[in-house]
Amino acid sequence: MAFWTQLGLLLWKNFTYRRRQTFQLLIEVAWPLFIFFILISVRLSYPPYEQHECHFPNKAMPSAGTLPWIQGIICNANNPCFRYPTPGESPGIVGNFNASIVSRLFSDAKRLLLYSQQDTSIKDVQKVLGKLRKLGNSSGSDLKLRDFLVDNETFSDFLHHNVSMPSSAVEELLDAEVNLQQV
């Protein structure tokens, strides 16, 4: 019973104080109403726009491994927002970086190191070195345009079909001598 008595006395005291201070009561009521009306006018003049739900790509923590952690930092630096769920939102999946630049770089390096014996890139390097030796040994007068083209290059087909040059003119052009000093 003491609680209800104290509450009644407190409300009576507050009512008596407010009745005596009329100007303060008007300010205390008008000021929040004024701010509320400002908020309503701003809301009506600038209606909200529809924003789709935002799905962010996952970012691996360092405990997932160094490569996924670095990929999460590099590939998501601009923090893109997607309209639909990303593959990495499923629990336990960290690898939505399979098409990233870093993954492709590592897979290319792995393929180059593991399968270089079956690859023809060493033979191609030897061809380039041979042509560079020929370039260094020559005075520049015995180099032909054909020497600068890759084997099986379709430059002659391009000139023959698209530029409508006769085959003899294309062969003469490819056998033309190149002066490196002028180039």
The per-residue pLDDT for 34 is: 96
35 pLDDT higher than 80: yes
pLDDT of residue 13: 92
Count of CA atoms in the C-beta half-sphere (13 A) of 4 = 1
Residues 6+ away with beta carbon under 8 Å from 75? 57, 97, 100, 101, 102
pLDDT digits (tens, 9 = 90+) for 87-145: 666 666 555 556 566 666 777 777 766 765 555 666 666 776 676 676 666 655 566 76
pTM (predicted TM-score): 0.29
Contact between 110 and 139 under an 8 Å Cβ cutoff? The reply is no
